[in-house]
Amino acid sequence: MHIPDSMISPETCAVGAAVMAPAWFVAGKQMRRSLSTKHIPLLAIGTAFCFTIMMFNIPVPGGTTVHPVGAVLLAVLLGPSAAIIGVTAALVVQALFFMDGGALAIGVNSFTMAFAMPICGWFVYTLISGRTPSNHPRRAIAAGIGSWIGLNVAAFITAVVLGIQPILYHDASGRALYFPFPLSVSIPAMLFAHMAFAGVAEAVVTASVVRYMQSRNFVLYGASEGQTASKYGLSLLWAGLGVMAALTPLGILAKGDAFGEWGVEGLKKQAGYLPSGFLGVERYGWKGFALFPDYLSDKGPLFYILSAVIGITLASGLILLVAKLFVRNKSESSPDKWNGGETRSKLTAGELPEWLLRSPEDDNPRETKGGEYRTMKRGWLDKTLEDLSVNWSVAMQQEKTAKLDGALQRLDPRTKVVSLLLLSLAAVMCNQAYILAGLLLFAWMLALLSKLPMDGFFKRVVTPVAFFILPIAIPSTLNWVHQGHALLTISSHPYICITLEGSITAGMFLLRMLCAVSFVALLSSTTASHQLFEGMGMLMVPRTFLWILEMTHRYMLLLLRSAEDMFLARKSRTVHAADTEEARCFLSASMGALFVKSMNLTEDIHGAMRSRGWGGETRFLRRSHFGWRDFTWGGLFMLVFLFSIIGGFIG
């Protein structure tokens, strides 16, 4: 459904941008009033979902393809204004980085898919759903019908825009300058394909996702009260998006270009000639940055998946940046569009108030200026106290996840240590991309079975790779390190470019590290600290060394909590900002107090151990034993390990 900028005149592109400019402005203001910051992650997932689902090409009779969009789904979940901004962000990423639609045609494509489709689909959805509660199945059915109608309205408008080109723009001989087929051809071709194929896929996907969100207690936009917008499984949504990215190569199985999206050879074959205006735009028009043309589909399925991952990152990152500019925090007493403009309901029994759930940066002093709130600058005391609290929270969260009733938590620590470290070693040694992708999916599946919070798990995996591994991998993409076919020229004098061979090497390196770090994160997240040190005994590590590590870890957390108490006490007694000299004095005194406390703690621990009969031997409090689960899971891990090693060598 994308309209290439070479198929329409520059005047048509300008009209599309002019029409969408006020729509973007109004949508931004409306989103600022109606959308809360807690819905921004869902908006990012929805935008990435729209980008990904448009990569799935569906074959239709006649040798062409169509694709769903997902715009009505965003409107049902977060409102029409959020759908306009979100789908526009996905289209911008497609046009600038993947040459899908063309940079000049962003306004026209946004009008069809980001404006007409969600607005029409939203109108049909509200008309059918009425005032039913948010969890009523009628809303899922209404969303599916609305998405079908919205997609076909967008297809009809696209057909009209293309069909009027030969009427408005042609040469003296009557030949079209851009799109060569009239309305009598474009309208039936577009509507048949979308009504019979793309619309059905759009309706099924939209209704299924809406029903899933209803099962997770998510209040749909504009729905009446009756549910609370609580946990709605963002981690599972990100996992589902990852699965979709892995399945995107199914989209290139369909042969043929979509109607109206032909290249030079395709248009010449369809029309029998090449319009002069079309050739001019193809040769001299700006095609965006064109870093990943056609999603690298000509290079194979692996590069198509890579394009999906890059596009998801760019689309979600762009919408997060836009949302940060437009969306602001709202108090619980502010009007809420999710409840028809009414104030949110009061706290129920057992529910925590908002101020207990806020992040540390939300507790900073605020001052008003012109009716707007802005955060005051934090001092060294606030920053240090926040860092101590975060470190303590991370340590406690790890101990908490280790006590969950998950698959890995039930295993003996020795089984987990040996098995997961072997899988990490297999990932480092493997040189086959498909095996590494399988290992990564296997690690994510283990995380789901272990009931780990997926957003925190992904953060623990991606953060060290992004900060430590990525800076090492980036230089290997340059021609100075790996010679080969140039993908992107950075500089001509001296000649610097990103090569295909270097990009493959860097991608394989990052994939290996992601797999290895995932298995290590699984081990640390599903095993308590004392059990982890106990399990390391299977690796022939001296017991005395492990015992010292366990004692160090345990009392390091104790000293960390003591430091947090000291800084909190200091903050509670501070009535003015401390100068630099006073801050240095307090920090020096705190360091000295902690050192004295650690020395006194050493003597107290040693005395307590001697009074209980300790004679110098090292022992662990063993509560776990090998069982049938350990043998079953251990055998599975060993099979995966052997398959990875053998497959890597054979490949």
- pLDDT level of residue 578 (50, 70, 90 thresholds): low
User: Is residue 484 over pLDDT 80?
Assistant: yes
Mode of pairing for the β-strands spanning 496-499 and 486-491: antiparallel
Whether the per-residue pLDDT at 21 is higher than 90: the answer is yes
pLDDT score of 617: 61
pLDDT, mean of residues 68-87:
94
Tens-digit pLDDT profile for residues 168-179: 999 988 899 999
Q: What is the pLDDT of residue 491?
A: 75
Which pLDDT band, with edges at 50, 70 and 90, does 344 fall under?
very low
At residue 457, the pLDDT reads 85
Q: Which residue range(s) make up the domain with 481? A: 381-611+619-651
| Measured distance CA(419)–CA(426) in Å, rounded | 11
Confidence band for 363, pLDDT divided at 50, 70 and 90: very low
| pLDDT tens-digit series, residues 275-309 | 999 988 888 777 787 788 888 888 888 888 888 88
The domain boundary, picked from 311, 326, 341, lies at 326
pLDDT at 567 over 80: no
Residue 116 lies in a domain: yes
Is 135 or 225 the better-scoring residue by pLDDT? 135
Do both 489 and 570 map to the same domain? yes
Do 440 and 578 reside in the same domain of the chain?
yes
Task: Judge whether residue 230 has pLDDT over 60.
Answer: no
Same domain as 166, residue 27: yes
Among 287, 304, 326, residue at a domain's last position: 326
Residue 616 has a pLDDT of: 62
Q: Which of 60-64, 199-203, 360-364 has the lowest mean pLDDT?
A: 360-364
pLDDT at 495: 83
Give the pLDDT mean for 75-96. Answer: 93
- Name the band, by pLDDT with cuts 50, 70 and 90, for residue 24: very high
Contacts 24+ apart (CB under 8 A), 138-144: 139/76, 139/210, 139/214, 139/220, 139/223, 140/207, 140/208, 140/210, 140/211, 140/214, 141/207, 143/72, 143/73, 143/76, 143/206, 143/207, 143/210, 144/203, 144/204, 144/206, 144/207, 144/210
The larger pLDDT score, comparing residue 154 to residue 285, is at: 154
d(CA 183, CA 165): 9
**84-98, 136-150, 480-494, 569-583: which has the minimum mean pLDDT?**
569-583
Do 307 and 433 lie in one domain? The reply is no
User: Are 202 and 148 within 8 A, CB to CB?
Assistant: yes
The enclosing domain of 273 has a CATH number of 1.10.1760.20
The whole-angstrom separation of Cα 9 and Cα 164 is 11
**395 and 314 within one domain:** no
Q: Are residues 307 and 414 in the same domain?
A: no
Residue range 192-217, pLDDT digits in tens: 999 999 999 999 999 999 998 888 88
Q: How confident is the model over 115-126, as a mean pLDDT?
A: 95
The reply to whether omega before 180 is within 30° of 0 (cis) is no
Kindly state whether residues 432 and 562 are assigned to the same domain: yes
Q: At 253, is the pLDDT very low, low, confident or very high (cuts 50, 70, 90)?
A: confident
**Same domain for 163 and 267:** yes
Q: What is the pLDDT of residue 349?
A: 46
What confidence category does residue 390 fall into, taking pLDDT thresholds of 50, 70 and 90?
Answer: low
Query: What integer pLDDT is reported at residue 402 of this predicted model?
Result: 81
pLDDT of residue 112: 96
Does residue 626 sit within a domain? yes
Residues 256, 385 within the same domain: no
Confidence class of residue 125 from pLDDT cuts 50, 70 and 90? very high
Domain membership of residue 36 (yes or no) is yes
Judgement on whether residues 559 and 465 belong to the same structural domain of the protein:
yes
Taking the model in full, what pTM does it have?
Answer: 0.59
* pLDDT beyond 60 at 319: yes
Asked whether residue 254 is domain-assigned, the answer is yes
pLDDT reported for residue 282: 85
What confidence score (pLDDT) does residue 326 get?
72
545 belongs to a structural domain: yes
**Per-residue model confidence (pLDDT) at position 36:** 80
pLDDT surpassing 70 at residue 393: no
pLDDT of residue 249: 82
Residue-averaged pLDDT of the chain: 81
Percent over 90 (pLDDT), the chain: 26
pLDDT band, very low/low/confident/very high, at 191 (cuts 50, 70, 90): very high
User: Is 369's pLDDT higher than 50?
Assistant: no
Domain contains 334: no
Highest mean pLDDT, choosing among 198-202, 360-364, 550-554, 633-637: 198-202
Residue 444 near residue 563 (C-beta atoms within 8 A): no
Cα–Cα distances (Å) from 246 to 291, 424, 445, 497, in that order, read 21, 21, 14, 28
**pLDDT tens digits, one per residue of 430-479:** 888 888 888 988 998 898 888 888 877 888 888 888 888 888 888 888 88
Q: How many domains does the chain have?
A: 2
Which one-letter DSSP state was computed for residue 550? H
Is 2 inside any structural domain?
no
Is position 356 within any domain?
Answer: no
Model pLDDT, residue 385: 53
Three-class SS of residue 373? strand
Q: Dmax of the chain from CA atoms?
A: 106
In a shared domain, residues 322 and 386: no
Which among 310, 326, 342 is the end of a domain?
326
Whether residue 571 sits in one domain with residue 442: yes
Closest CA to 122 of 228, 221, 226, 219: 221
Q: Which of 76, 46, 42, 211 is nearest to 140 (CA)?
A: 211
